[in-house]
Amino acid sequence: MEKYQRELNWSREDFVKHHDMKYGGRLPVWAAVEIIDWGRLMHLYNFAPAGVREDVADSCGFSPSQLASWLKSLNVVRNTCAHHSRLFNRVHTLTPKIPPVGRHADLDASAADWSRTFGQLTLAQFLSDRLGLGRSSLLRAVLKSHPAVQAVPVAHMDIPDDWQTSSPLWA
């Protein structure tokens, strides 16, 4: 709660100012999650009652432990990007729990190495697609814009040559 309060005090968001003036600063949970970082969001999910975790995970088509592992994996990718570290040619230390083959055809078709960058990006693409978050074409466009440079080939992120056609997630 102390960390949340600090983030609330640091926030310069208009909606935070509005809630402070109109409601005394007590944000509803749907607004509070806008100012917390990914790590705290993971804690919020992990501290939620089992039934809530099951409902959230079910909306993604996962078990609660699978979704928790995805959140942890994506937190590492997020932190890597936020700290301007290298995604290129990286083997990620956390590998998410993947649902059994046949559960999600989109994931089955991707045949990604989940410990490599393209596998991790496939997680983000799947969740974006599944939950209708943002523009799912944005990550696709970023990958397509990777320059064809011999010293830094896109294959070093474990992106297959047919990535745009091999899975409906990337088509």
- Between 154 and 96, the higher pLDDT residue: 96
With a CB cutoff of 8 Å and minimum separation 6, the contacts of 27 are: 8, 16, 19, 35
d(CA 96, CA 70): 5
Whether 107 and 122 have beta carbons less than 8 Å apart is answered as yes
d(CA 32, CA 3): 12
Tokens of 76: 């590492």
The separation between the first and the last C-alpha atoms of the chain, rounded to the nearest angstrom, is 42
d(CA 26, CA 52): 22
Given a cut of 70, whether residue 111 has pLDDT beyond it is no
Per-chain mean pLDDT for the chain = 85
pLDDT at 107: 80
pLDDT at 44: 87
Neighbouring C-alpha atoms within 13 Å toward the C-beta of 118: 24
User: What is the DSSP secondary structure assignment for residue 97, as one 8-state letter?
Assistant: P
Residue 130 — very low, low, confident or very high, per pLDDT cuts 50/70/90? confident
Interval 123-134 mean pLDDT = 85
Residue 58 — very low, low, confident or very high, per pLDDT cuts 50/70/90? very high
**Nearest one of 158, 64, 167, 164 to 115, comparing CA atoms:** 158
d(CA 170, CA 52): 30
Classify residue 159 by burial, with Cβ atoms within 10 Å: 0-12, 13-18, 19+.
buried
pLDDT at 4: 82
